[in-house]
Chain A
Amino acid sequence: MQPIVSLNNVVKEYRLGNVSVPALRGVSLEVYPRDFLSIAGPSGSGKTTLLNLIGCVDTATSGAVQVEGQDTMNLSDRELTNLRLNTLGFIFQSFNLVSVLSVFQNVEFPLLLQRKLSRRDRRDRVITLLEQVGLASHVNHRPNELSGGQRQRVAVARALVTQPRIVLADEPTANLDSVTGNNIIDLMKSLNEKSGTTFIFSTHDAKVMSHANAVIQLADGKIVDKNGPAEASLKQVAEVR
């Protein structure tokens, strides 16, 4: 099976004035369709940087990042944007909903950017997804009228509305209480199983990690461990205790 995402010896350095700060120091990784992959590690280990590179919102200093077989290093801004629009979905730590738009309009937004579906089809797609995330009764609410969990569900629906092959989630539960966080992970897991969408999410919560079918451990910009889900969760749980 072909990997849907592959990273080969990827290095990412940030420049702070004259000093270059390494964020990733030679990361190689392959992600396969239907994976529910967790990227774990302490703060500053490079989790977000790795997600940014896979999500095509940032480019590597060296090495190769391939998403759906395309080398992102060679793509223009316009092509990268199209890739993000059509192939990737994003769930953010702080939800990042457009505050002036309603729940329905937030979810519809990527479809409007795509300009592929008719008004009717867009509506069907959005309503179906909102039903799946359990917010069918909140279509006309504004984000500020929703709880944190509800907002993140809207974000999940928005990430999935274009039927992307990969959904990236950066600490999706960090701003939520544990029960709500678990619900979100359950939701993501069920969508992963139902639609076969690949999920890559970063977290430092061991409980969240335990849902993953693979866990990448990062430390100081390097992968220190690749595990199957069972070992990972056991190990994390042990570390936490």
Chain B
Amino acid sequence: MGGHFLVLVRLALRNLFATKLNIIIGVIILVGTMLVVVGGALLDSMDASMSKSIIGSAAGHIQVYSAKSKEELALYGQMGGEPDLNAIPDFSKVKSALETLPNVKTVVPMGISGALVTSGNTIDVALERMRALIRQKQRHGASAELEGQIHSQKDYLRQILRVLQSDTKKRELIVTERAIEPENVAALQQASSEEFWRNFDRDPLNSLEFLENRIAPQASDADLFYLRYVGTDLEDFQKSFDRMKIVDGQIIPPGRRGFLFAKYFYENQLKLKTAQRLDKIKKRYIELGKTIAANPEPKQWIKENQAQTKEIILQLDRIKTDQAIERLQRALGSSETDLDALLRHLFDINDANFNQRYQTFYEQIAPLLELYRIRVGDILTIKAFTRTGYVESVNVPVYGTFQFKGMEDASLAGNLNLMDLVSFRDLYGYLTSEKAEEIKKLKQVAGAESIDRADAEEQLFGTGRTVVAEATPGLIDDNQAFTGGARALRREELIRRVYSKEEMDNGVALSAAVILKDPKKLQQTIRDIQALSEKEHLDLKPISWQTAAGLIGQFVQLAKYALYVAVFIIFIVALVIINNAMMMAAMQRVHEIGTMRAIGAQRTFVLGLVLTEIIVLGLAFGTGGALIGTGIVRWLNRVGIPAPNDWFYFFFSGPRLHPWLTPGNLIAALLIVLGISSISTLYPAFVATRVAPVRAMQTEE
């Protein structure tokens, strides 16, 4: 074989640049290898980054949930909301069982759910405050200080009414009369009249009711937002997902009820819209060196800010309004006295004045405002439908905001907020032991009795009825109604209560994140969990993080398949081109091949000749392509590919993807390219072996 091989390689090397056809094939191979190297590196890097995002933000390596569930677990939601999962009734049993497996590091309980939460509008908040002041006055009598506060609050309400009225006038200019409810206009007129406010003190509660019913709905700044949260053991969660960092506030103290907002959600859902728009202009345009002038999007945001100054004005009472006017006059060098005009002036932003206006807003105006609708330290009331369909609500203090390092702007990870497990169980409708206790106490206090179904009718309506008492009108005094244990469970107490680790573990969880010691043994561990679950009747279904990611996991998988299909099509095209080119090359060399055959070369030699040539060609140009591809990947690694939107932050596990190359990528690329080249050359090679030696005798044209 030595002699053969020598001459084959010699011929192949000599032929490398002998014809234009070879150069064409070479360039195809070069570009092909380059694409495979770069594409492979991108896909693999993205895959690794995304798995880092998913594993690090909520999924862990494996998720387990009840095998009895009707639907599959989908951590990032699915079409039509949260999947219908059966609960794991006793988490502690599952935890202790799973932690016997050698590859399991920790098991973190979880439950994902969501609720629509409203934040009252500005008028509601102002009216609520007014009502509290008036109650105080009724209960404790008037004082000079209280009167002053009521007066100031009245001013503030009238200020809000003025804003609403001017808003209606503005609206009249752009919409037809019919679109404006005449009753609303009338109500607004009535509320703004001097007479209304003269009568206010005489009957404040009725006046407030009028404002609440007729005016408050006209202010459109109330917000309804969907809050997705993971109920979990926060201590374990923070330990297991160590990329989690607290941004504002603090971590929920161990065993306490509490809520942590995802920073991304907090910034994008709860922040004053005007401020959000300014932030977006800064982040997406100014910081990236793009101009406002050249882009329609920031211009639109600027217009919106100018049109929606109401959002700010409504928040300011008279004192703050005066402060704002004074500050803006100074900052803008204006003598304008109308706040709306001043704000419109402030938000008249272009590339030259952006930084100065941005600074003015945050330094002069923002301190006068509530920048976020819910602040750290507030008590958040979440109402949600339990699994059995009734409404349950909990009050949880907001301890702060958090984010996952590297995924600050990833919308997918950034919309999942954190809640303590106990509150989650309450919302889920799980009867905890303390709830059972509360119900028992309530029954005692109310004198409730259990009635058998069989004699219910007799007991309730019969002549000898004993259970129905006469109702007497009177005040309900909470302090009397709840005594002892029941009282201790009321709002403030619940918030202050510290739950033990046992209480956290004993109870339901919807799923559990399993963190592994060696993530490479994921599939094996899934099988182990399955076996364990069968043996101990745990009824668990273990799934990989990828499956648990639901649509997202599928989406990335789909993207990958789409890329594979594209690469496949490119290869088919390359295959056809190489095949044709090699065919032409073989035809051009009929005389030479015939001569070799006449001189004594076997058909196998001719086959080897053509194949060696393509392999040498493939190796030479393939290596070239791989080198160029490596260069491109290195360059991309250095500069990073910016995430085009917030979704990609998640796929890229950060603002930029820095793709890297593994030896596997290079070897795979070379093998694929050599394989494709060889396959596409099989037919031309076969044709070449059929060249008759007699062709050597025919005179070359």
Q: How many angstroms between the C-alpha atoms of A113 and B1 in the bound complex?
A: 9
CA of A100 to CA of B592 in the docked complex: distance in angstroms? 11
Q: How far is the CB of B701 from chain A (nearest CB, A)?
A: 10
**Contact across chains for A57 and B692 when beta carbons are under 8 A apart:** yes
Known: A96-B591, A112-B4, A112-B6. Contact between A85 and B694, CB under 8 A?
A: no
Is B4's CB under 8 angstroms from A85's CB? Answer: no
A193 an interface residue at 8 Å Cβ cutoff? Answer: no
A77 and B11 in contact, given A58-B694, A94-B700 (Cβ under 8 angstroms): no
Per DSSP, chain B at the interface is helix
Closest to A101 in B: B14
Give chain B nearest CB distance to A161 CB in angstroms: 10
Residue in B closest to A102 when the chains form the complex, CB atoms: B14
Q: Which of A57, A85, A109 contacts B697 (CB 8 A)?
A: A57
Query: Which residues 2-47 of B sit at the A interface, judged by CB distance below 8 A?
Result: 2-4, 6-7, 10-11, 14-15, 18
In the bound complex, do residue B599 and residue A110 qualify as a contact, i.e. CB atoms below 8 Å apart? yes
Contact among A99, A110, A170 for B600, CB-based, below 8 A: A110
**Residue A211 is within 8 A (CB to CB) of chain B in the complex:** no
Q: Is the CB of B595 within 8 A of A112?
A: no
B696 CB-CB contact with A under 8 Å: yes
Q: Does A115 contact B (CB under 8 A)?
A: yes
- Contact check: which of B3, B597, B696, B697 meets A112 at CB < 8 Å? B3
Within 8 A of B (CB), among A89-138: 90, 92-94, 96, 98-101, 105, 109-115
Which one of B11, B598, B600, B700 contacts A98 once the chains associate, using CB atoms below 8 Å? B11
B241 contacts partner chain A, Cβ-Cβ < 8 Å: no
Residues of A within 8 A of B605 (CB): 113
Are A98 and B697 touching (Cβ within 8 A)?
no
Chain A residues near B696: list those with CB within 8 A: 57, 90, 92, 96
Bound CA–CA A98/B600 (angstroms)? 14
A153 at the interface (CB under 8 A from B): no
- Is residue B699 contacting chain A, with contact meaning CB distance below 8 A? yes
Q: Is the CB of B15 within 8 A of A100?
A: yes
CB-CB under 8 A from A112, the residues of chain B are 3-4, 6-7
Q: Is B602 a contact of A100 with CB atoms below 8 Å?
A: no
In the complex the two chains form, is B3's CB within 8 Å of A113's CB? yes
A52 at the interface (CB under 8 A from B): yes
Inside 8 A of B10's CB, which chain A residues have their CB? 101, 105
Q: Are A81 and B11 in contact (CB under 8 A)?
A: no
The range of chain B's interface size is: 20 to 34
A48 with B697: in contact, given A101-B11, A101-B14 (CB under 8 Å)?
yes
Residues of A near B1 (CB, < 8 A) are: 115
Chain B residue at minimal CB-CB distance from A88: B600
- Contact A51 to B598, CB < 8 A, known contacts A101-B10, A105-B10, A115-B4: no
Question: Does B603 belong to the interface (CB within 8 Å)?
Answer: yes
User: From A98, which residue of chain B is reached at the shortest CB distance?
Assistant: B592
On chain B, the residues within 8 Å of A86 by CB distance are 600
Answer yes or no: B101 CB below 8 A from chain A CBs.
no
| Cα distance A238–B605 in the bound complex, in angstroms | 49
**Nearest Cβ in chain B — how far from A159, in angstroms?**
8
Beta-carbon contact of A78 and B602 below 8 Å: yes
Q: Kindly state whether residue A82 has any CB partner on chain B within 8 Å.
A: yes
Given contacts A57-B694, A90-B598, A158-B599, contact A100 B14 (CB under 8 A): yes
Give CA–CA (A52, B692) in the complex, Å. 11
Residue of A nearest to B599 (CB): A110
Question: Within the assembled complex, what's the spacing in Å between the Cα atoms of A173 and B495?
Answer: 111
User: Does A84 touch B at the CB level, under 8 Å?
Assistant: yes
Chain B residue numbers with a CB within 8 Å of A229 are: none
Return B613 CB to nearest CB of chain A, in Å: 11
A101 to B599, CA, bound (A): 15
Kindly list chain A residues whose C-beta atoms are within 8 Å of the C-beta of B591. Answer: 96
Set of chain B residues within 8 Å of A84, measured between Cβ atoms:
598-600, 693
14 additional A-B pairs beyond A51-B697, A57-B598, A101-B10, beta carbons within 8 Å, are: A57-B694, A78-B602, A81-B600, A81-B602, A84-B598, A85-B600, A90-B599, A93-B697, A96-B591, A96-B696, A98-B596, A100-B18, A112-B4, A170-B697
7 A-B contact pairs sorted by A residue (CB < 8 Å): A52-B697, A57-B693, A82-B600, A86-B600, A92-B696, A98-B592, A101-B10
Pick the 5 closest A-B CB pairs, nearest first: A85-B600, A100-B14, A57-B693, A112-B3, A96-B595
